[in-house]
Structure 1
Amino acid sequence: MTPSATTTTQAARLSVAPMMDWTDRHCRFFHRQLTRRTLLYTEMVTAPALVRGGAAHLLAFDAAEQPVAVQLGGSEPAELAEAARMAEAAGYAEVNLNIGCPSDRVKSGCFGAVLMKSPALVAECLSAMREAVAVPVTAKCRIGVDEQEPREVLPQFLEMVQKTGVSRVTVHARKAWLQGLSPKENREVPPLDYPLVHETKQAFAGLHLSINGGISRLDEAQGHLDAGMDGVMIGRSAYHDPGMLLQADAQIFHEAPSGRSRRDAVDAMRPYIDAHLIAGGKLAQVTRHMLGLFQGRPGARAWRRILSEDSHREGAGLEVLDRALSALPEASLAA
C-alpha cells in the first residue's frame, strides 16, 4: 500500500538524499532495516528514459522500502507528467523533480540545476506533474546557480514553486557552478549558506522546507529542526556511515528506541540477499551498500576488506557475510 501524503510529509522530517549510483533499490532496502520512519529517495531517473527509452525497470522497488519517493529528471512537461504517472502506478509515495543536480550529463539534457535559470519552465513542469498524479509532487533545488544572487533568486523561485501548488521543497544550501566545477566539487566547494535557508523558511511559513548540504550527524539535523526547518536531508554521510540511521527513529521522530543492533540489521538482510542470489544477482550488488555499517567501530576495516574483496568473487554467497561478521568483536555487533 502506498503511504498517504500525510505520512510522507511526516517522514520528510528526515530523509536520505537521492544519490546517483548509490541509492539504488538494494541500498534503500538496507537503509530500511535501520530506520522505519526516514523518507528514502531513488537515484534520479530521467523522464526520457522512462517514457521514450522503455526503462520502466528503473522503477522497480520492494514495498518494504516504503515510504519511498522517486526523483525524476527532465524538462519537458508532458514527458514528466507521463513519467510521474508511471511512478505512481509503480507504487511510489512521492514524485520529486530534480532542480539541483549539476552534472555535465544533466546540463546537456537541460534539467537539474540549470532549470533554476528557467523558473517559468519549472512551473510548467511541476504543474503538469501535479495534474497527472494524486501522490505528492515535490522539488529539490539549490540556492542559486552561477552568477545568480541567492538572496534574490531563492525567494522568487520558491514563490513560483508555491504557486504551482507544490508544498514541499528540499533546498541544498549551496550554489551550483555549472561552469568550472565538477559535480564532486559542486558538493564541496561552493560555501554553505544555512542562514539564508533558515531565513527563507521564516518567509515561507506555508511551505514545508527541508535543508540539505554538509549535514553529517543526527544532532546537526536536530539543530536545524529546532531552528525552525521542517525537515533535514542527509546525503553522503548517511551512505558512508549508515549505522547513524539506527538512532533516527528515536532521535528525530521521537519514538521509543528500537533496541535494534547493527547485527540485527545484517541478519535482516539475509533473506533479501538470498532471494537476490537465487534470481541471478551478485552479492556485491547488495553488500557494497553495507560497507560503512560499522564505521568507527573496532573491526570495521576487516569488515570492509572482506566484503570488498570477496563479494565480487564468482559464486560468492552468504558465507562471505558470515566471514565478515566473524571479524568483528561482539561489542561492535551489539550496538
Structure 2
Amino acid sequence: MDAPSRFSLRLKACVYRGLNVIFSALDRYVSSPLPRQVSFQKWIPSTVSRPPGSIRLLFYTPEPFVRSVSAAPDSVQRKKYPVLVNFHGGGFCIGNPHDDARWATAVIEAQEAVVVSVGYRLAPEYPYPIAIDDGVDAILWIWEHADELNLDRTRIALSGFSAGGNLSFAVALKLHGLVQKRIPAVEIQLLGIVAFYPSVDWTQTRAERTASNLISRQKSPIPEGMYKFFDASYLYPQPIDMGSPYLSPGLASEELLVAALPDRLMVYSCEWDQLLVETEKFRKRLQGLGKKVGGRMVVGQAHAWDKRPSFMRGNEQRDRVYAESTAELGRMWQTATR
C-alpha cells in the first residue's frame, strides 16, 4: 500500500488538532477543580534542527513569582525556583502545551516550582527528529536565561506524557551528545525524569505492540487509523533507523543510558495500553543499570487515561498518581542542595 501523501496527512492533522482543542478545553475550563492558567509565554528560536522556526514555551509559576530579576526586591531576587520542563502528548502530531495544565498545577501546589511546557513543532509538517531538537533547544534556552527568570539551573527535571514521555528520554539522550558543542556538559545536570506511558521501542509494529497486550485492542481509546496517521506523519522520510536511541530509548546502549539519563526516574505504564510491555521492560532495564526507578503500572486504565475531562466527578486515581510523582520530584530537586 502506498504511503499517504503529506497533503492528506496535513488535512487529517487539522481535523485531529481541532478535536483535541475541544477535548483539552473541556478538561481545563469545564472540569472541576479548574487547573492553573499560563502565567506568561516565550517564543524562542530553533537552533538545533535544520529547518528554522520558533518554539513556544508556556510558563506556569507559583505565587509570588517575580518574572524579571531587575523588578524584584533583593529578598525575592535571591529565591531561585526549581524547573520542570514538560512535553505534551499527541503522537508527535496533535496536542499543545496547554494540555498538561492540570499536571503543572499539581507540581506547583506540591513543590512551588516553575513548570515550562514546551510547544515543540509537530508532524507531519515537522517530522522526526524535529520535536527532539526543539526539546533540546528548550532546555538550552532555559539554562542560558535562568538567572533573568529567577530559575535554578542546578535543579532541572523533565516530564512527559505518551509521545512526550518518549521525548523526555530522547531529549536527555540527545542533549548529552550535543551540549558539549555549546555549554560544558558538566554544567547541565538533569536531576530526574517523570514519564507517563511513554513509547520506548519503535522497532515493534503497532500489531506487535497490540499482540503483546491483547486487552489493549478492546480498551484503547485510540482508533487504529489514528495510529497509522501518527506513524506516517512522524516517521518521514523512510527509511529510518527504528532502533535509534532517539526513537527507541529503550534500546539505547547501557553506556549511553548510564551517562545521559539522571539517576532518579519515575515511569508509569497503563494496564490496558499496547505500550505496557515495552515500558515495563525498560523500567526493569533501568533498574538493572543502577538507576533509582519509581512509578508503577496504573491498574485498570488505558493510554492517556488522565487526560479525559472529568467534569464534576474529579479523578481520584489521577490525583494519587500525580501526588506520588510530585513527591518524588521534590526528592529529585533536594539532591541538588546536598
TM bucket (normalised to shorter chain) is 0.3 to 0.5
Q: Tell me the TM-score normalized by structure 2.
A: 0.33
Q: Tell me the TM-score normalized by structure 1.
A: 0.33
Q: Give the number of the structure whose alpha-carbon radius of gyration is greater.
A: 1
Structure having greater relative contact order (Cα 8 Å, sep ≥ 6): 2
